[in-house]
Amino acid sequence: MRRVLVVNTYNFQNMGEVLQVEALANILRGDSVSLASWYSYVDTAICDGLGISVAGNTRPPGKIALLAKAATSLARLTLYQQTGIAKPSGILKAYDDCDFVVDLGGDTFSDNPSPVYTLAHCFALLPALMLGKPYTVCSQSIGPFKTPVTRALARYVLSNAQSITARDPITYNYLKDNLSIATDKVSLCKDLAFFTERTAVPEAGLVGLNPSPLAHRYMGLTPDEYVDFVATLVEKLQQTHRVILIPHVYGPRHGLGKVANQDDRQVIGEVAKRVHIEAGTHEDIARCSAFVGFRMHACINAMSRGIPTVALSYSQKSSGLPTANWVKTIDIREGTATGLADRISAAATDMVSLPSDDRDVNWMRRETECHTRAVAELRALTHTELLGEYRRCAVGHASNAKTRLKGASGGVATSLVKCALSAGTADSAVLMDQTTMPPRPVSVTETSQLERCTGSAYCIPEDALKTMTELASRPDCVVVGLPCQVAALRSRFPDNTYVGLFCSHRVKENGIRFLLRHYQLAEEAVQFRAKADGNTGLLHPQGFFIPLKMYWNRFLNYCFIPRGCTRCHDLTAEDADISIGDAWGLSGTSELGLNAIVCRTHRGEELLNAALERGEIEIRDVSPADIVRTQRNYLLLKKGRLNFKLRVYSLLRAVGMGASQHRLLHPILHFWLAIAVRGRRLQGQGSVEESRVAASS
Ligand SMILES: Cc1cc2nc3c(=O)[nH]c(=O)nc-3n(C[C@H](O)[C@H](O)[C@H](O)COP(=O)(O)OP(=O)(O)OC[C@H]3O[C@@H](n4cnc5c(N)ncnc54)[C@H](O)[C@@H]3O)c2cc1C
Ligand code: SF4
């Protein structure tokens, strides 16, 4: 189950937007869907019915309040990104929690009727951009953007989208030719609202007519003249048919920006004062034998029920409507009002008498395929693309308290190796002996030798892979390795069992020596992830301890990183049978340690099950999204999906790597360590052990 956030749906009083939300809910069935509302009119009853939760307001706040909220939200997100404090809450939490975002703008993403629409639309996507959440811009008519600011902003937001589904050819061409958006991102298909499954119970000779208070502007009429026009049209239709006026938009009276998005019932009320006419609701579309609509989604509502439709078009969005003998589009911007009324009533009369057997509604539904595909790609992207193939995801730890405590995270890697050796499924294990400086690869055949290999070796000899290749050539071998080691060894020895470690990057040996020298410690073997005093950190045999949050987060995360690691795209050992990492931030994490586990192959599953049966480990299943959450930033970094924070990190890392390469700049690094990275001497080795025992109890 993915967590999906829908943004930019503006008006639940517009049945077109409701249709689109319903269609999207169909596509997202099985996922957990929330709707973020900064400035929207949301109907919570409709959302409840569709299983959608709402974050934010259900009515637009005033302009000043909205601007203040936007400014504080962006400031808060920036602070959160840079410092980790000011954790997102409310609507921002919905962005932070989701796996991906669907921008369902409902109507159009453009400076028409006002640039405010573009600004608001782009703003709702900014948190997704800042948090590195992938998004699709779904089923919209896009452009034109008339001012330099809105154009630049829209181009930025659109070019960062994972995909865009254009619902009309004008949009497709505008994106390609005018905004230069990569064509492989954009697909052209029918409006998402066709994806809803609707039925009709037509009454013979009943014609539905949907007027719109927006239409008069496109016909060059005043509002009163437009009402007269609709009344004339009704009278013409009534000569041969029964007519019902059908509203599609029920409000609000005033929309975002200067243009009112008015209630269709206003026009209907005025027309009813001039002619005797039945006024219905949007649900009465199902009763019609033919339908005439000014609102595009009202027409789609009729078409998706197989009702012959005359669509009255006044903008580019209607250019995406299907063409069929039972669908006719008339441009209301052409010709005189009288001529138009004649053409519309003639078209409607033709439609009423059409036979019903050749109306292929499923054909239209199939034409919406690209929306489903865009969502499927986002689903895959969030998990498979970030994590690689997986069969099962879990968190867990070694059952043996000592193994858990000694382990880099929760001791699962050591427990799996122990299981493989003691169950006889492996004759030897290739591990990293951590009692030397630097740690070195060894082959282990006895479980009693495992303890010296437990822990994470952040630095290894440059020829480690060569030694591992020799050791892994033995038959029936289980190998624990970093993603790059697993990939290299798997291609040589595919029959081995591979336990991969998550890996952001390793550290050059001279980096560790630099660190030890700074604290005037002998350059000997250290534990990089010792657990002491309820903390995890570097423990030197002389009893000197530096918390991981200090020496890694503030120093080795930037300095002494091998260049190859900055080009590496695999964080989670995607070629392994089973991959193990740290379950940062997931519930159950304690100072004793908890592992994230990604089981990828049948062989990996067998090993995991054997370890469970033998009581070596305890696990609980989690979703792949949970695993992604534990490593989101490093994953995005490795997959090249850089948000603002990761761009800053990459820059600082380049500076740190440059400084660590040049001895002349080393005094700056010493100065940084002196002010930012504090270690402390524990009260003798005995107390280190005591603190561990205390932590385990
Ligand atoms: C360089 C490096 C970077 C890492 N980056 C991340 C990260 O970004 N995110 C994350 O969640 N986890 C990361 N890890 C993995 C994490 O530190 C733990 O190794 C992992 O969670 C397994 O924990 P455990 O308690 O099950 O391991 P343990 O039970 O302690 O077993 C660890 C096993 O890994 C072997 N090993 C240790 N270091 C190496 C090495 N350099 N090469 C080959 N084998 C080795 C040991 O011999 C041992 O068998 C990294 C580890 C390393 C070495
Ligand atoms: S970041 Fe990649 S290349 Fe560097 S040690 Fe880790 S797996 Fe190997």
| Tens digits of residue pLDDT in 392-436 | 999 999 999 999 999 999 999 999 999 999 999 999 999 999 999
The stretch 277-298 carries a mean pLDDT of: 95
Closest ligand to 561 CA? 2
| Tens digits of residue pLDDT in 32-61 | 999 999 999 999 999 999 999 999 999 989
Mean residue pLDDT across the chain: 90
Tokens standing for 661?
């390469």
Q: What is the largest CA-CA distance in the chain?
A: 102
Find the range with the poorest average confidence among 110-119, 143-152, 372-381, 451-460.
372-381
How high is the pLDDT of residue 355? 77
**For the domain bounded by 3-189, which CATH number is listed?**
3.40.50.2000
Give 134's strand partners: none
251 or 277, higher pLDDT: 277
Give the position, in ligand 2's atom list, of the atom nearest the Cα of 504.
1
- For residue 278, report the distance from its CA to the centre of ligand 1, in Å: 73
| Dist CA 495 CA 493 (whole Å) | 6
Tokens standing for 550?
């200090």
Strand segments, DSSP code E, in 179-334 are: 186-188, 206-210, 242-245, 278-279, 290-293, 309-313, 327-331
Percent of the chain with pLDDT over 70: 95
Asked if 248 contacts 12 with a C-beta cutoff of 8 angstroms, the reply is: no
- For residue 560, report the distance from its CA to the centre of ligand 2, in Å: 13
Q: Residue 493: pLDDT above 60?
A: yes
| CA 330 to chain CA centroid, nearest Å | 40
How high is the pLDDT of residue 178? 93
> What is the band of 86 on the pLDDT scale with cuts at 50, 70, 90?
confident
| Dist CA 33 CA 37 (whole Å) | 13
Give the position, in ligand 1's atom list, of the atom nearest the Cα of 593.
25
> What is the band of 136 on the pLDDT scale with cuts at 50, 70, 90?
very high
How high is the pLDDT of residue 696? 43
How high is the pLDDT of residue 262? 77
| Dist CA 40 CA 17 (whole Å) | 11
Residue 409 Cα distances to 60, 398, 431, 596, angstroms:
47, 10, 16, 9
Residue with the nearest Cα to atom 8 of ligand 2?
484
Q: Looking at the chain, which residues constitute the CATH 3.40.50.2000 domain(s)? A: 3-189
The stretch 540-545 carries a mean pLDDT of: 93
At the second CATH level, the architecture of 206-366 is 3-Layer(aba) Sandwich (3.40)
Interacting residues of 246 by C-beta distance below 8 A, sequence separation 6+: 208, 209, 210, 280, 281, 282, 284, 285, 288, 291, 293, 298
How high is the pLDDT of residue 693? 40
Asked if 291 contacts 207 with a C-beta cutoff of 8 angstroms, the reply is: yes
| Tens digits of residue pLDDT in 199-211 | 889 999 999 999 9
How high is the pLDDT of residue 106? 67
- For residue 574, report the distance from its CA to the centre of ligand 2, in Å: 12
Residue 150 Cα distances to 45, 122, 519, angstroms:
34, 9, 54
Closest ligand to 483 CA? 2
The stretch 365-389 carries a mean pLDDT of: 83
Unique residue bearing structure tokens 């423990």: 539
| Tens digits of residue pLDDT in 601-632 | 999 999 999 999 999 999 998 878 788 888 88
How high is the pLDDT of residue 123? 94
Q: Which long-range contacts (CB under 8 A, 24 or more apart) does 540-545 make?
A: 540/516, 541/685, 542/681, 543/681, 543/682, 543/683, 543/684, 543/685, 543/687, 543/688, 544/519, 544/679, 544/680, 544/681, 544/682, 545/679, 545/680, 545/681, 545/682, 545/688
Tokens standing for 612?
């469970």
Strand segments, DSSP code E, in 463-526 are: 477-481, 497-501
- For residue 485, report the distance from its CA to the centre of ligand 2, in Å: 8
670 or 82, higher pLDDT: 670
How high is the pLDDT of residue 84? 66
> What is the band of 532 on the pLDDT scale with cuts at 50, 70, 90?
confident
How high is the pLDDT of residue 258? 45
Amino acid sitting at position 168: D
Q: Residue 102: pLDDT above 90?
A: yes
Q: Residue 81: pLDDT above 80?
A: no
Ligand 2 binding pocket, CB closer than 6 Å:
482-484, 503, 505-506, 564-565, 568, 570
